[in-house]
Structure 1
Amino acid sequence: MDPDDEAARRDLFGQHLPHVAVEPAFPPAHTRHAAPRGHSFGDDPTASSPALRHEPARCATFPQRHGEPAAHAPAASYAAWALSEYGGGAGGGALPEFIGVGGGEGIFRVPLRAATHPARPPPLEVRPHPLRETQVGAFLRTLACDARGRQLWAGAESGVRVWALGEVFSAWPGAGPRRRGDEESAPFRESVPAPPALCAAVDGANRIVWTGHRDGRIRAWRMDLAAPAGDRAGSAPMFMEALSWQAHARTPVLAIVVTSYGEIWSGSEGGIIKAWPWGAIAKSLTFTSGEKHMASLLVEKAYIDLRNNATVGNVCSLPAADVKHMLADHCRAKVWSVTSTAFALWDARTRDLLKVFGIDGQVDLARLEAPVMPEKFIEEEIKVKPTKKEKPQGSFTFFQKSRNALMGAADAVRRVATKGTFVEDNRRTEAVAHAMNGTIWSGCTDGSIIVWDGNGNRLQELQHHSSSVQCIKALGERVWVGYASGIIQVMDVEGNLLAGWTAHSCPVINMAIGDSYIFSLAHHGGIRGWPLSSPSPLDDILRYELASRELSYTRLENLKILVGTWNVAQGKASPEALRSWLGGAFYDIGLVVVGLQEVEMGAGVLAMAAAKESVGLEGSANGQWWIDNIGKTLDEGISFHRVGSRQLAGLLIAAWARNDLKPHVGDVDAAAVPCGFGRAIGNKGGVGLRIRVFDRRICFVNNHFAAHQENVSRRNADFDHIYRTMTFNKPHGSTASTTSVQLHKTVSANENQADDDRPELAEADMVVFLGDFNYRLDGITYDEARDMVSQRSFDWLRERDQLRAEMKAGNVFQGMREGPIRFPPTYKFQRHLLGLSGYDSGEKKRIPAWCDRILYRDSRPVSIAECSLECPIVAAITAYEACMDVTDSDHKPVRCTFSADIARVDELIRRQEFGKIIQSNEKVCSLLQELHIVPDTIISTNNIILENQDDVILRITNNCETSKAAFEILCEGQSIRKQDGTKSELLLRPSFGFPLWLEVQPSVGLIEPGETMEVAVHHEDFFTEEEFVDGVQQNWWCEATRDMEVVLSVNVTGSTSTKTITHRINVRHCCPVPTAPPPVNPRSITDAPSDAVSSSKNNQSNHLQRSDFANFGSSEVHDLCVMPK
């Protein structure tokens, strides 16, 4: 659970779970009661009671429910039930468990889980979180949506894919998706393989999606696909691009935008910006598939290099930095190009550069020209330099030299960790968007948001979150902001915060609006749709209805886990020893996790390990030997596959999963926390793996705590430090491996967190601690301990166990569970000696002790909780034993097997239930009708005649007294009136852009309740060398008798849905007797045009030849999530 989730949980519930004390193994029968129902704040919340289950071939059968036995059951059956229920809780064969005090308090309480997240709107799971390992080479990186066409497009590393929003509640037909990891996704169609798509733009008029790719090409994809996402035979055939051309020779297309006049502009590295006129593109789209090469050449030759146009006398005011974003300001017909630290403002009609300025709003060309250098986390290196011989001041012992080497390495690790954690990165622009009130919003890496007017003047700076802004979207009077923390915030156009919630467990890298949802794309590739109306009463109804149907989409799995720990004392084991320790994994075990201590030791080894950690490296030859030989013992490659490993000096942890579990195991993250020598060296400490199994997170932590009899408090402190500070890395998808993930992470060196900050281990559904904890026996001599061992008086010895005493006192391993210790102490032995004679008989005669232990915590707030979506993992120890016949070390290897019931969500069934609620629930349908109401508006005319370059004022009035009305003016098409009075066919404009001779300002706006917005419609003598009409070049100013006509659509929407009401206006320009085209005077880059925006309740002088308000030519365009009548 992220800290923001935990804060939301505290706000909702305001109290902690009850205190959990030590529980007996056999409580009286009358104490059993119903399990309390918790709530979830995990990335993938899930539901409640066990209804349906899937049993993989590897899994053993277990009871249908953990319920009470029948009333007529014999006493023996009741006792067996009590042993299972209170001993472990995951079916027959469970052992009684010892439970530490303090598990229900603070950071040691179990994470809350539920069928639906109580602190966020219920999302539409278009594509549930896929396992990272399944997405290598296919990660999604951009998102675009066509609201009218009901399609959601995503750019991937392998091409593009498209979801038909009308099919999101359907199942995959036939064989399902081709790619592993998309089994639970809504049906989609995929393009032929293509280089990674980095950016996208939608042309709704011509039904085309434009994508920019890493190979420097721009590709066009037709939205009218011939087949649905699947057919009876399985997935539908892949579709091909309609057009592609080399936009940038050796650099990727980083940004793409369609301007107000239909041109395509693209940005690349080095500040290169190119414009592609629509005429050449339109002609190329008419070529046949056999003429694609000619079509590409036609477009490639038609480009305009805008950077060259802005260069005067070899001096260019544009920064030579990568163009990260491009934005079309349709309100004022401008284009914004954005680098990390600078903005450039362009006239979309003339392509003139108007202004260049920085994040602070000031024009500082010298600063803007400076290249942006990446932050360097490591500024110092550990170097060994020869020094002059100096007169010795005294003899240094070997131990003193070793200590100096270790302390030097520890200091380097601390410095690197501190720099990597606390050095603030330069402030950079990460996102930009256009709000409906005409302002431009930009988001920065420090979480701040800057609001600009259309001329590039700073209006305000606001900040509601400290995480980096990743994306911004706007509709109506609302603005949505996605952060690197996974949070989405909703604001109004004035910047006031309306709501926020944790949308994903990783950064929200892109968003798109369509079908009355805002869709968010997470870094891991998951896509969720959030109602535009959120926050609203609809959220509570959907949450309640989904939770009430949790039985229908709950699935139960059973997983057998083998966990082993061994302090190998720098030795290497024989194959026989490994088989004795781990040989049982060949039967019904699904997951094997092994932790080793003292794989290698010594001052030189520890110093080298610390130096490797400081530069992000880890692992050693000895560690690899152990991984390889354990893999051979497990029959790796045939029965098991390795999923991850992590080494820190002498500590090593590795995990293997059975092959038939591969579709359900992944997202392996690693972590390391040193505890030795000022918490910087790995002779003591912990290494961990976090593994996602059946959509649940299980953490395994291998530990080696402080040694010596008297250091109990230090051992307790080691556990506390590891538990609080262990932070798992989240590697980028492009570096993940499909089989085994060797993970690298610099060590965690932060100070202890406060209790209110939930550590990552606290948010796992199950945590297993294993290792050499070094807890000893108190109040007993060596001879007494040997006598008790020979008599197998383990109960008497356990009463003197330091760990059990500390757990009873609530000082360590709070709330964690351990199986019954029915084996002799595992430390200390002489190598290669069996039986009691193997215990240390040397000079020190160390007292035998149970140093090597395995403890765990699952999802149960109390022992009687049943496995459900509120309590997603209920585990039980089925075996806990030491391999006393292994003599390869001074410690005996210990193993523990778990039987874990895991509750998960069937995402397809839940998505279908979501659709049923949206479409058939009366309360939801009634509320959607209210939320989807579009404000009543009227326009002053539906016919405009332009003459003599006069401005004609179009007035749009919002008759609604309660809601603001958002409008957008588009051009549906252009025609030419011929000499005989007839008109040519209406030609669609690209992306509903205006022809170059027409200016409409503002074309986008927000109208207050009861007020009127005035829009200036103007004809401009804009001469170009050529114009394409019906695909034929025309010198249009030479045709004396041609009048131009366009059809404008005024689309009016609210703020909580994409439902639209459209008013249509015919605009005719009567062409006078043509003259030769005058010379074009370029504008100064410092003169920004004024905005023709005004809003008034009083009607002013009207240049229209037809007055009076009229509601002419209006039509209602419904969004695509409308309820049935």
Structure 2
Amino acid sequence: MEPDDERGRAPQRKGISYSQPLARDAVAQAAYARHAALSSHSLDDEPIASASAHRHDPARSVSCPHQLPPHHHHSRGGESVYLHAASFGGGGAVTLERAVATSEHGGAGGRGALPEFVGAGGGEGIFRVPLRAAMHPGRPPALEVRPHPPRETQVCSFLRTLACEPQLRQLWTGAESGVRVWGLDELFAGSVAGARRGDEETAPFTESVPAPPALCVALDSANKLVWTGHKDGRIRSWRMDLATTPAAAADGGENAPMFKEALSWQAHSRTPVLSMVVTSYGEIWSGTEGGVIKAWPWDVIAKSLSLTPEEKYMASCLVENAYIDLRNYVTVGTMFSLPTTDVKHMLADHCRAKVWSLTSMTFALWDARTRELLKVFGMDGQVESARLEPLVMPEQFIEEEIKVKPTKKEKNQGSVTFLKKSWNALIGAGGAVRRVATKGTFVEDNRRTETVAQAMDGAIWSGCTDGSIIMWDGNGNWLKEFSYHNSSVQCIKALGGKVWVGYASGTVQVMDVEGNPLGGWTGHSCPVIQMAIGGSYIFTLAHHGGIRGWPLTSPGPLDDILRTELAKRELSYTRVENIKMLVGTWNVAQEKASPESLWSWLGTASSDVGLVVVGLQEVEMGAGVLAMAAAKESVGLEGSANGQWWIDNIGKALDEGISFHRVGSRQLAGLLIAAWARTDLKPHIGDVDAAAVPCGFGRAIGNKGGVGLKMRVYDRRICFVNNHFAAHLENVTRRNADFDHIYRTMNFNKSHGSAGFPFSHLLFSSILLHYFTVYDAYNFFAFLLQLLIRLSNCIKQ
């Protein structure tokens, strides 16, 4: 499941305000009355209950950055708690001690458990507890073709495109390493044992031989071929009948049988194939950078496919030299009526035998038979240029060109030629001038075409980055525009009387052919970049590489029936994994701990845990250090020698490299957070991200603030945030404001300090990613704070 697969809502608990001290009996209430009238506490709670007998436990230890005397805290029943300060040993090392008292709740000799803090307002708004249920109540039951794979396993193998062949019931995807194909009849067979990491739960599939990244795909059902355009500028074809779907990964995933391409040729020499389409006449058109569009006649392609495998090189050369540059059809003098920007999308209108080619800002409409450019128009529907005809010049002007002596007529001809070129230049630049004058550059940059599709009624739908959808008729006339989401439209698919739209927020919306919404749901936790229809499902490809199938009848009454029946059988398709975590925090006050202290703090207590997370405060301070840290953050750098010392020595205490492996870390000036996972748990951890939010001077300096780590463990998201807030009782409002600032603005959009986990580049630069914030739905969330300074006033009493 993904992070949005949340489980049932936890029971609501009554919130307790910690802005005022809590009195438990008349004696305590009288003792606190005068103090409460003068000040308020931000993190007070019920006092820790303990028995009169206390014992020392070095394995369960916390820290105190300053030496404080033992303090007796009154509580209900007369129990007391003793907090001993940390003592500083020789050589600047910090020795850590703690006395843990036994509790009446733990029985004879038992250890007292810390009471749970429940802040006021819990369960409301962004503090709501995530849902926990076997089936998500807000969306239809999904067919998991490929569950969300860990990002670290997808380096050089991200899925980019998606297409479905309805007759042979095949689902094709273009990846960074080649092509994959699923048989729709095999999707319910379950995963295959021994699959490679990242595809353990994936339905059986067949993979092609390694190939450069596939950027676009086009189906040719009549000839049972799949055409793919690649980053190296080549076009490759794959035979559908050879791409059968045996048990994938039968020999461990990497030695499974692979299929080879049928034909390939160099379509573009130095640029990638960004878009491709098969026209109504069987021709293959491809678009690339700079507005270049090439076409290959079908008779040449058919002849090349008929050659034997031994003549593969000859077939490739035959097709490669038979291309038609469509710019020659629209050239007038030295000017082109086509835009010179990248051709990102192409669409074949088989109803009218036309071809649409799209850049980010313009549309071009072609005649598929004559390859004639009909018109070029912008997103506002205004025609920028049509097929340009050269100016008619008198015959005498042409005859005068062969004369040696310049005459008055030659001068007139030169004037006409100059006017012609000027007129062409004005026509070519007119559209851009009009756009800048009416809308402005900022609007244009935030309003680009991301996808195009054709509905069953012949209308053309185009989606934009601002969430708007524009409808056109078959002749390129603007019909209407509407918007239901602020998120970028990434893909559109139509079948019958329905149209499905995928957004960058992960939402899948269903509309009718008139653009009226019929329903929608959150399909993925990240952008939906591609969709395909096959069988009785519409398949969605998420940015992280997961593929899900949704019933074509959704939303409908059948969804509730399926959810109910699947919820009854939860135990048959779910499993429970128990993980023990050790989370510790320490204000080290710019000191360095001795190996014995680290071992007593973490080494002895980590023997039976799977995940260790440590948060440190005041690793280093000082104006110069803070200024240097702020300068590093401004250029994307982080870390320091002191921070690395703590990471290395904590790793030694945990036997890093043998028993534990570091999965991620992040430092912001004096704040540091790091996580280690046991060796057998590390393969199940992925998507490690780090983030930091400064709350110091002007919320730009890292002496105060928070650092966080986000990860997925057994396909469940967990988050840890280490914070350092302002001390003293008069800063209650500031602490609460800093907490709210961190909670709302911490974005996990970069991979900082993820040891051994390279961060793959974004698939498409135009995708507006939905960055995860702290208050997104996590299955486990932990805030690491230094609380002793909040008790300073109580200790003085």
| Structure 1 range deviating more: 771-780 or 527-536 | 771-780
> 1:216-275, CA deviations, whole angstroms, 9 ceiling, x for partnerless residues?
111101111365331765654011111111111011000011011111111111111110
Report the counterpart of residue 478 of structure 2 in structure 1: 458
Report the counterpart of residue 199 of structure 1 in structure 2: 216
Rounded to whole Å, the distance in 2 between the matches of 1:315 and 1:424 is: 24
Q: Which of 12, 19, 43 is residue 14 of structure 2 equivalent to? A: 19
Decide whether the 8 Å contact of 1:645 with 1:741 is kept in 2.
no
> 1:88-145, CA deviations, whole angstroms, 9 ceiling, x for partnerless residues?
9xxx999353332433333333111211111111111111111111111111011011
1:741, distance to aligned residue in structure 2 (A): 5.5
Q: Which of 581, 584, 592 is residue 612 of structure 2 equivalent to? A: 592
Rounded to whole Å, the distance in 1 between the matches of 2:574 and 2:309 is: 49
| Pairing 1:366–2:429 present | yes
| Pairing 1:769–2:783 present | yes
Query: SS of the counterpart of 1:320?
Result: coil
Equivalent runs, 1:869-888 vs 2, <5 Å: none
Report the counterpart of residue 100 of structure 1 in structure 2: 118
Report the counterpart of residue 704 of structure 2 in structure 1: 684
Q: Which of 217, 220, 241 is residue 234 of structure 2 equivalent to? A: 217
Equivalent runs, 1:404-483 vs 2, <5 Å: 425-483=445-503
Query: SS of the counterpart of 1:552?
Result: helix
Rounded to whole Å, the distance in 1 between the matches of 2:759 and 2:367 is: 51
1:614, distance to aligned residue in structure 2 (A): 3.1
| Pairing 1:188–2:205 present | yes
Report the counterpart of residue 573 of structure 1 in structure 2: 593
Q: What's the TM-score, normalizing by structure 2?
A: 0.76
Query: SS of the counterpart of 1:287?
Result: coil
Closer/same/farther in 2, CA of residues 585 and 310 from structure 1, 3 Å limit: farther
Report the counterpart of residue 716 of structure 1 in structure 2: 736
| Structure 1 range deviating more: 575-584 or 443-452 | 575-584
| Pairing 1:146–2:141 present | no
| Pairing 1:272–2:292 present | yes
Decide whether the 8 Å contact of 2:749 with 2:772 is kept in 1.
no
| Pairing 1:496–2:496 present | no
Query: SS of the counterpart of 1:683?
Result: coil
Decide whether the 8 Å contact of 1:586 with 1:634 is kept in 2.
yes
Closer/same/farther in 2, CA of residues 425 and 629 from structure 1, 3 Å limit: farther
Q: Which portions of structure 1, spanning 4 or more consecutive aligned residues, are displaced by more than 6 angstroms?
A: 1-6, 735-738, 742-745
| Pairing 1:120–2:183 present | no
Decide whether the 8 Å contact of 1:111 with 1:763 is kept in 2.
yes
Report the counterpart of residue 804 of structure 1 in structure 2: none
Closer/same/farther in 2, CA of residues 744 and 490 from structure 1, 3 Å limit: closer
Rounded to whole Å, the distance in 1 between the matches of 2:134 and 2:709 is: 26
Closer/same/farther in 2, CA of residues 699 and 570 from structure 1, 3 Å limit: same
Query: SS of the counterpart of 2:711?
Result: strand
Q: Which of 749, 753, 774 is residue 760 of structure 1 equivalent to? A: 774
Matched residues, percent identical?
Answer: 73
1:309, distance to aligned residue in structure 2 (A): 2.5
> 1:591-643, CA deviations, whole angstroms, 9 ceiling, x for partnerless residues?
11111112222222222322333343322333233323333332333222222
> 1:718-766, CA deviations, whole angstroms, 9 ceiling, x for partnerless residues?
32332233222266xxx99783368999xxxxxxxxxxx9963352111
Decide whether the 8 Å contact of 2:664 with 2:755 is kept in 1.
no
Decide whether the 8 Å contact of 1:254 with 1:269 is kept in 2.
yes
Closer/same/farther in 2, CA of residues 776 and 652 from structure 1, 3 Å limit: same
Q: Which amino acid aligns with 2:654?
A: L
Closer/same/farther in 2, CA of residues 744 and 595 from structure 1, 3 Å limit: farther
1:539, distance to aligned residue in structure 2 (A): 1.1
Decide whether the 8 Å contact of 1:319 with 1:369 is kept in 2.
no
Q: Which of 143, 155, 158 is residue 174 of structure 2 equivalent to? A: 155
> 1:902-941, CA deviations, whole angstroms, 9 ceiling, x for partnerless residues?
xxxxxxxxxxxxxxxxxxxxxxxxxxxxxxxxxxxxxxxx
Decide whether the 8 Å contact of 1:707 with 1:774 is kept in 2.
no
Decide whether the 8 Å contact of 2:164 with 2:172 is kept in 1.
yes
Report the counterpart of residue 76 of structure 2 in structure 1: none
Closer/same/farther in 2, CA of residues 726 and 543 from structure 1, 3 Å limit: same
Report the counterpart of residue 321 of structure 1 in structure 2: 341
Q: Which has the higher contact order (CA 8 A, sep 6+)?
A: 1
1:562, distance to aligned residue in structure 2 (A): 1.5
1:714, distance to aligned residue in structure 2 (A): 2.6
Closer/same/farther in 2, CA of residues 293 and 651 from structure 1, 3 Å limit: same
Query: SS of the counterpart of 2:681?
Result: helix
Decide whether the 8 Å contact of 2:338 with 2:376 is kept in 1.
yes
Q: Which amino acid aligns with 1:366?
A: A
Closer/same/farther in 2, CA of residues 5 and 667 from structure 1, 3 Å limit: closer
Query: SS of the counterpart of 2:550?
Result: strand
| Structure 1 range deviating more: 96-105 or 719-728 | 96-105
Equivalent runs, 1:350-749 vs 2, <5 Å: 350-364=370-384, 365-366=428-429, 425-584=445-604, 587-729=607-749, 739-740=756-757
Rounded to whole Å, the distance in 2 between the matches of 1:646 and 1:298 is: 56
Q: What's the TM-score, normalizing by structure 1?
A: 0.54
Rounded to whole Å, the distance in 2 between the matches of 1:634 and 1:359 is: 59
The number of residue pairs the alignment matches comes to 649
Decide whether the 8 Å contact of 1:2 with 1:758 is kept in 2.
no
Decide whether the 8 Å contact of 2:181 with 2:243 is kept in 1.
no
> 1:518-543, CA deviations, whole angstroms, 9 ceiling, x for partnerless residues?
10000000001111111111111111
Closer/same/farther in 2, CA of residues 229 and 739 from structure 1, 3 Å limit: farther
Report the counterpart of residue 247 of structure 1 in structure 2: 267
Decide whether the 8 Å contact of 1:645 with 1:742 is kept in 2.
no
Rounded to whole Å, the distance in 1 between the matches of 2:795 and 2:678 is: 45
Q: Which of 112, 123, 132 is residue 151 of structure 2 equivalent to? A: 132
Query: SS of the counterpart of 2:576?
Result: strand
Rounded to whole Å, the distance in 2 between the matches of 1:166 and 1:631 is: 49
Rounded to whole Å, the distance in 2 between the matches of 1:532 and 1:226 is: 26
Query: SS of the counterpart of 1:302?
Result: coil
Closer/same/farther in 2, CA of residues 589 and 181 from structure 1, 3 Å limit: same
Rounded to whole Å, the distance in 1 between the matches of 2:750 and 2:169 is: 34
Report the counterpart of residue 909 of structure 1 in structure 2: none
Query: SS of the counterpart of 2:304?
Result: helix
Decide whether the 8 Å contact of 1:16 with 1:106 is kept in 2.
no
RMSD: 3.3
Decide whether the 8 Å contact of 1:699 with 1:761 is kept in 2.
no
Decide whether the 8 Å contact of 2:2 with 2:148 is kept in 1.
no
Q: Which amino acid aligns with 2:143?
A: L
Decide whether the 8 Å contact of 2:689 with 2:754 is kept in 1.
no
Closer/same/farther in 2, CA of residues 362 and 4 from structure 1, 3 Å limit: farther
Equivalent runs, 1:1018-1097 vs 2, <5 Å: none
Report the counterpart of residue 920 of structure 1 in structure 2: none
Closer/same/farther in 2, CA of residues 120 and 226 from structure 1, 3 Å limit: closer
Report the counterpart of residue 884 of structure 1 in structure 2: none
Decide whether the 8 Å contact of 2:663 with 2:754 is kept in 1.
no
Rounded to whole Å, the distance in 1 between the matches of 2:648 and 2:145 is: 40
Query: SS of the counterpart of 2:599?
Result: helix
Closer/same/farther in 2, CA of residues 299 and 743 from structure 1, 3 Å limit: closer
Rounded to whole Å, the distance in 2 between the matches of 1:107 and 1:315 is: 56
Decide whether the 8 Å contact of 2:155 with 2:760 is kept in 1.
no
1:314, distance to aligned residue in structure 2 (A): 1.6
Q: Any unmatched runs of 5+ in structure 2?
A: 23-103, 385-427, 437-441, 763-770
Closer/same/farther in 2, CA of residues 115 and 730 from structure 1, 3 Å limit: farther
Decide whether the 8 Å contact of 1:168 with 1:186 is kept in 2.
yes
Decide whether the 8 Å contact of 2:691 with 2:750 is kept in 1.
no
Rounded to whole Å, the distance in 1 between the matches of 2:795 and 2:322 is: 92
Closer/same/farther in 2, CA of residues 308 and 654 from structure 1, 3 Å limit: farther
